[in-house]
Amino acid sequence: MNKIKSFVLKHYRMLLTVFIPVAVVAVIFAIPFLTVAVPVTESYWDTVMKTEPYTDNETYTDSEAYVTTETRTDTVVNQAVGYGGWTQSFKVVKADSTVTIEVNNYGGGGYYAPFSPVSPWSSWYGGGWNNFGGGQSWATVRVSYPEDVTKYRPVTKTREVTKYRDVPTQVLKDRTTIQNVKMSIWQSIFR
């Protein structure tokens, strides 16, 4: 330690000449007198609208098939029948069929018509001018049977659908602003 003390006492002028300017420059460079524009990034929360899917139930009308049994009626015979006996044959194909026979008589009474264009002795029977001998009839034969029929009815159904809606959402964002900051020369050199 004595050596250092003796060196400093012997060379103190030279040491002061070197250290004083260095100390002055260091102090000047350390004082914050410069105004520098510095970008500053800050985080903040912002509300934005975000579209998101969701499921919902929706009703709609559809047609649904169903089978029902109905009675179907077909007319097999529908004709005038003569004066004598009447015979008609037909085949019944469907099981559980009902045959209905309807006969209407259009017979009329005889009368004397001496100036008749047909004959002096004529009578009117529903189907036209006929000679005496009986009336005329009309026969209708119907076959009724059960038959399965497919029909359609409207039904209300529900289905799941995807819809979209806007929802407010908090989002973390960053923004950069320029701020004027006082700093020293050292800070501006080493930033």
> Is pLDDT at 125 greater than 90 in this prediction?
no
Q: Which two tokens stand for residue 94?
A: 């469907």
pLDDT for residue 102: 86
Token pair 């320029």 is found at 178
Q: Where are the domains of the chain?
A: 59-155
Rg (the chain; Cα; Å): 61
Q: Which helix (H) or strand (E) holds 25?
A: helix 12-30
Q: With a threshold of 0.85, does the pTM exceed it?
A: no
Taking the C-alpha atoms of residue 25 and residue 19, their distance in angstroms, rounded to an integer, is 10
| CA distances, 126 to each of 83, 130, 169 (Å) | 12, 9, 93
- Give the residue-averaged pLDDT of 128-137: 53
| Residue 51 DSSP SS3 | strand
The residue ranking higher by pLDDT, 36 or 108, is: 36
> Is pLDDT at 116 greater than 80 in this prediction?
no
| Residue 10 DSSP SS3 | helix
